[in-house]
Amino acid sequence: MLHIFDSLKSGHTVGKNVCSRLVLGKMCSNIERCVFRALSMGALFYSRGVEMKKKWMKFLAMFFVCVTLAFGFAACDDNHNSSSKTYIVSFYLDNGEWGDSQLIKEGELVVRPDDPTKGGYTFVGWDFDFSTPITQDITINAQWQIRTELIRFTFTSTATTCTVTGLANPDAIDSLVIPRCVTNIGDEAFQGYTKLTTVTIPDSVTNIGSKAFEGCTGLTSVTIPNSVTSIGYGAFQRCTKLKRVAIPDSVKNIGYNAFYNCEALTNITISNGVTNIGSEAFYGTSYYDNARNWENGVLYIGNYLIKAKKSLSGIYTIKSGTTIIANDAFHGCEKLTNVTLPNSLTSIGASAFTICGLTHITIPNSVTNIGASAFAYCDLIRVEIGDNVKDIGTHTFSNCTSLIEINVSSNNMAYQSINGDLYNKDGKTLIQYAIGKKTSSFTVPNGVTNIQDEAFYMCKNLTSVTIPESVTSIGKNAFGHCVNLIRVTLSNGLRSIGASAFASCGGLKEIIIPISVVSIGNEAFLYCDSLTIYCETENEPSGWGLYWDSLRYMGDRFPVYWYREEIPTGSGNYWRYNSNGEIEIWG
């Protein structure tokens, strides 16, 4: 049996022994940095800073410990003599991190734990002689020494990572070798180091942060190892003397503006591992500005389509073998009416075709990912989505005001179409209503639980929408700018209404907010000039946004009525349902 002393307060650390029962002293209100072992397997459970009242049931279920709240004793173990003193030995690692604690009987020795690790440091031991018997509660501290190769750098670290954030003395640096123990190059780590000419990055590095080398105008050479998975936005922008770069297979993401305005960059190779290329990643490079690299108004780098000129018009066929369309690649090609996507294509970047004149699009079976806003503000009438699309970003078909039908292959395992609208496969999320349909009224299918952000945005034909009890959340701007919407029926069961959910629905005259709603985002009904709001709750819930009822941005408020079954005694606006189930205003 493990007893936690009356004298032991929150913040102390206990554990180590296997106990069949647990008795808590009256002064212990929280379990912090506690260590317990499961009865049958001796598996270690470690939870730091956990509030007891939130975790008891989970703790019991996981470890089958019989917990008894009592006013306790000072002993541990079923066979322990309660007259024996037992002390707590804590192990402090660094930066607020603690190791597993031990409960040790008076006069016994502490069991030396395994050596801890910390990125950028060498563990040199504990500040304690483990041959010394324990006679009191103690904290044993880990001792660290900065690795020699990191002395010239500033950095942060955890047990498994080391992030370089800069140099201690950057003034005279011209050649930089990043130590092998480094796992990340931090945001803006070497920004503006104009004297830097070469950088060697070891194969321990997995991430190059945003603007890490921005403005290193003297940098002529950098080798990105086959360990880096992400190159942050603007990582090498304005490295005006950088002439060549090779992106290895390990890299999945190239951030926007990654090599922006690298004026001398003529030689660019991208291996096959990249799945996302940010907007303008290579804008202003010598490669980008060389007209001979553009094929009929479109720029490719290997299998990657980087950018199309806004003057592109009519029908365009993306060349076979292309695997990725970069973010914003065709953005603003308003004269482009049709594009054929090859069967080699796997990913369409965010905003890739935003504000295009496209009227139809067929997504081939090879495509697995469609980025956010990829076809927003297009002239699309019909969309065909193939078998293997697994991820469709938010707002992908938002504001396509002519869209009357979205068809999803029946073989697709992630999405489906119902009556021309886009849902996830289980039908619980309404992703996109085809807002060009001439239908004036719509009832959300029963079983839908979530209406996604901008699902009905800019739908000008709807006048009436009924939302069933199954729906628990309405996303941000879900019905924004539905200017002819005059009736919305919300059902009890709705929990959340997103920010600007009904913004600029100027036709709305009244809306009843069910008592079940616990959260409303700011400006949910912004610019609904004629709206009166009736709330089924008697008082405003704490989860409603500060400006949920704003008629203008942080300005005028709507008239809001609160529900009272009996005649209200105080001042304010109140209402109830009359015998016919209609709204009746008190007074």
Mean pLDDT score across all residues of the chain: 85
Q: Please give the domain boundaries of the chain with CATH numbers for all domains.
A: 2-116 (no CATH), 438-587 (3.80.10.10)
Between residues 331 and 147, the one the model is more confident about: 331
**Confidence tier at 567 by pLDDT (50, 70, 90):** confident
**Segment 169-195, tens digit of pLDDT:** 766 678 888 888 899 999 999 999 998
Mean pLDDT for 309-328 is 97
Span of 114-123, 358-367, 473-482 with lowest mean pLDDT = 114-123
3-class state of residue 265 by DSSP: coil
For residue 380, is pLDDT > 60? yes
Mean pLDDT for 374-393 is 97
The model's pTM: 0.75
3-class state of residue 385 by DSSP: strand
Between residues 566 and 345, the one the model is more confident about: 345
Between residues 133 and 310, the one the model is more confident about: 310
- What does the pLDDT read at residue 76? 41
Size of the chain in residues:
587
**Bridge pairing between strands 441-443 and 464-466:** parallel
The four Cα atoms 99, 102, 108, 113 give a dihedral, to 10 degrees, of -30
Mean pLDDT for 509-537 is 95
Contacts of residue 21, Cβ cutoff 8 Å, sequence gap at least 6: 1, 2, 65, 66, 67, 68, 78
- What does the pLDDT read at residue 558? 86
CA distance linking residue 521 with residue 77, whole number of Å = 53
For residue 25, is pLDDT > 70? no
- What does the pLDDT read at residue 107? 85
**Confidence tier at 395 by pLDDT (50, 70, 90):** very high
Taking CA atoms, 88 is separated from 82, 319, 568, in Å, by 16, 69, 60
- What does the pLDDT read at residue 51? 38
For residue 20, is pLDDT > 70? no
- What does the pLDDT read at residue 11? 40
